[in-house]
């Protein structure tokens, strides 16, 4: 090998190594949401991205499985992040049991892990940052009772993908709030995270239970789905609809009167706080509070402007 070639090789090797060295000093943080798309996850993601830009030595990445049902996909994402030796992961588990094991693997590898929006059953993560979902369900129930006033009848629940702990808790809190109210709560139906399916199921519910006076839709997908069914049955404005989350689609429906109230979570807070807490834990070894409630607010036509900026 000629001298110049050797020199060239050494130089190019150095060029490759240099940025790698610079990278080694940055703190690599990841948020793993429940899906790649969707308005809610975009809110988490963009708040975290904005936060990361203010933190000079942070390299941030958002990842999500193909759908909110893709447990295996989410496990693989975490496994890849473990291989990549990131410093911290904020995870929203699509399935509260299965992801617990993967979280343990990450913790064993020395990675700081917190959960956001939805928690694991195992609870060995450093912190859960998100909505107290039982409280969110209760808030929905109380709001719905207030909206109905003296009106009595059946109440239907449209829930999202089966097996997510946060949705189970919302339904639980909602049912608790309606206990002793004289309203009959129907068996909850799932839209499996598919808006078209939510429309179909809500249509069937309206048809089979003419005494339904109110709906609670506990996801941002189910809400617009139920609204569509109410519109085509010409029952919008008559049947009360309480939804969850503040998305452009739901705000539009709130303004046209199809949706009566929304229970707002704070996905932006979840994104920002989780990033800050992971950073503190990874760089300063800070001890994290195991539970951080980001709170909920009841949004109606009168105060919606505050939430849409």
Partner 1 sequence: MSSAARAITGELTPRRPQWLTIFLDRFLSGAALIVLIAVFSILAPGFFSVSNFLSIANQVSIVGIIAIGMTLVIVTSGIDLSVGSLVAFSACVAALLMHTNDPPFEQPGLLAGMPWLALVAGVLAGGALGWVNGVLITRLGITPFIITLGMMSIARGASLVMTEEQPVNALPESVFVVGNGSLGPVPIPAIILLALAAIMAVILSRTRLGRYAYALGSNEEAVRLSGVNADAYKTWIYVIMGLLCGVAGAISIGRVSSAEPNAALGYELDAIAAVVIGGASLMGGRGTIVGTLLGIAIMGVLRSGLVFLNVSTAWQQLVIGGVVILAVWIDQLRQGR
* 305 sits near partner 1 (criterion: CB under 8 A): no
Residue found under tokens 């800050």: 276
Please give the Cα distance from 191 to 219 (Å, whole number): 10
Residues 158 and 201 sit within 8 Å (Cβ to Cβ) = yes
At residue 256's C-alpha, the angle toward residues 253 and 257, to 5°, is 85
Strands 240-244 and 189-190: unpaired
* 205 sits near partner 1 (criterion: CB under 8 A): yes
Closer to partner 1 by CB, 6 or 97: give it: 97
Residues 298 and 139 sit within 8 Å (Cβ to Cβ) = yes
* 203 sits near partner 1 (criterion: CB under 8 A): yes
Among 132, 194, 218, 245, binds partner 1 (CB under 8 A): 194
Among 59, 184, 189, 283, binds partner 1 (CB under 8 A): 189
What angle do the packed helices 222-232 and 248-255 form, to 10 degrees?
A: 40
* 219 sits near partner 1 (criterion: CB under 8 A): no
Among 88, 137, 193, 222, binds partner 1 (CB under 8 A): 193
Q: Segment 53-72, which members bind partner 1 (CB under 8 A)?
A: 66-67, 69
* 304 sits near partner 1 (criterion: CB under 8 A): no
Q: Count the residues of the shown chain that bind partner 1, applying the rule CB under 8 A.
A: 37
Closer to partner 1 by CB, 106 or 253: give it: 253
* 244 sits near partner 1 (criterion: CB under 8 A): no
CB of residue 238 to partner 1, shortest distance in Å? 18
Q: CB burial class (10 A; 0-12, 13-18, 19+) of residue 6?
A: exposed
Please give the Cα distance from 217 to 144 (Å, whole number): 11
* 190 sits near partner 1 (criterion: CB under 8 A): yes
Please give the Cα distance from 63 to 36 (Å, whole number): 6
Among 208, 238, 285, 302, binds partner 1 (CB under 8 A): 208
Please give the Cα distance from 170 to 185 (Å, whole number): 14
Closer to partner 1 by CB, 135 or 186: give it: 186
* 38 sits near partner 1 (criterion: CB under 8 A): yes
Please give the C-alpha separations between residue 248 and each of 105, 255, 308, in angstroms, as whole numbers: 38, 11, 8
DSSP letters spanning 50-116:
HHHHHSTTEEEEEE--SSTT-HHHHHHHHHHHHHTT-SEEEE--SSTTHHHHHHHHHHHTT-EEEEE
Closer to partner 1 by CB, 4 or 208: give it: 208
CB of residue 163 to partner 1, shortest distance in Å? 9
What angle do the packed helices 165-178 and 133-148 form, to 10 degrees?
A: 40
Which string of x and - marks every residue 221-240 that binds partner 1 (by CB under 8 A)? ---xx--x---x--------
Among 44, 116, 140, 201, binds partner 1 (CB under 8 A): 201
CB of residue 157 to partner 1, shortest distance in Å? 11
Q: Segment 82-141, which members bind partner 1 (CB under 8 A)?
A: none
* 199 sits near partner 1 (criterion: CB under 8 A): yes
* 248 sits near partner 1 (criterion: CB under 8 A): yes
Local structure of residue 211 (DSSP, 8 states): T
Please give the Cα distance from 27 to 59 (Å, whole number): 6
Where does this chain bind partner 1 (CB under 8 A)? 35-39, 41-42, 66-67, 69, 162, 186-190, 192-196, 199-201, 203-205, 207-208, 210, 224-225, 228, 232, 248-249, 252
């Amino acid at each position: 090998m000629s001298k110049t070639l050797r020199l060239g090789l050494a130089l190019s090797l150095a060029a490759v190594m240099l940025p790698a060295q610079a990278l080694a000093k940055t703190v690599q943080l990841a948020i793993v949401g429940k899906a790649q798309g969707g308005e809610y996850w975009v809110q988490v993601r963009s708040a975290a991205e904005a936060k990361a830009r203010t933190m000079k030595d942070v390299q941030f990445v958002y990842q999500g499985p193909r759908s909110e049902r893709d447990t295996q996909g989410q496990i693989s994402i975490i496994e890849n992040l473990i291989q990549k030796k990131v410093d911290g992961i904020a995870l929203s588990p699509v399935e509260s049991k299965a992801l617990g094991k993967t979280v343990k693997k990450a913790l064993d590898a020395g990675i700081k892990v917190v959960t956001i929006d939805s928690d694991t059953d195992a609870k060995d993560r450093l912190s859960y940052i998100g909505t107290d979902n039982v409280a969110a369900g209760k808030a929905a129930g109380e709001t719905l009772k207030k909206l109905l006033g003296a009106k009595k009848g059946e109440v239907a629940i449209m829930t999202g993908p089966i097996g997510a702990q946060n949705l189970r808790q919302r339904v639980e809190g909602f049912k608790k709030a309606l206990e002793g109210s004289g309203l009959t709560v129907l068996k909850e139906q799932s839209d499996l995270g598919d808006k078209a399916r939510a429309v179909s199921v809500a249509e069937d519910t309206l048809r089979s239970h003419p005494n339904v006076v109110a709906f609670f839709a506990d996801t941002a997908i189910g809400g617009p789905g139920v609204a569509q069914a109410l519109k085509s049955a010409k029952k919008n404005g008559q049947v009360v609809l309480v939804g969850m989350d503040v998305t452009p689609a739901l705000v539009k429906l709130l303004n046209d009167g199809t949706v009566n109230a929304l229970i707002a979570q704070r996905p932006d807070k979840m994104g920002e706080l989780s990033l800050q807490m992971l950073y503190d834990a990874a760089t300063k070894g800070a001890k994290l509070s195991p539970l951080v409630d980001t709170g909920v607010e009841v949004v109606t036509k009168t105060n919606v402007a505050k939430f849409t900026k």
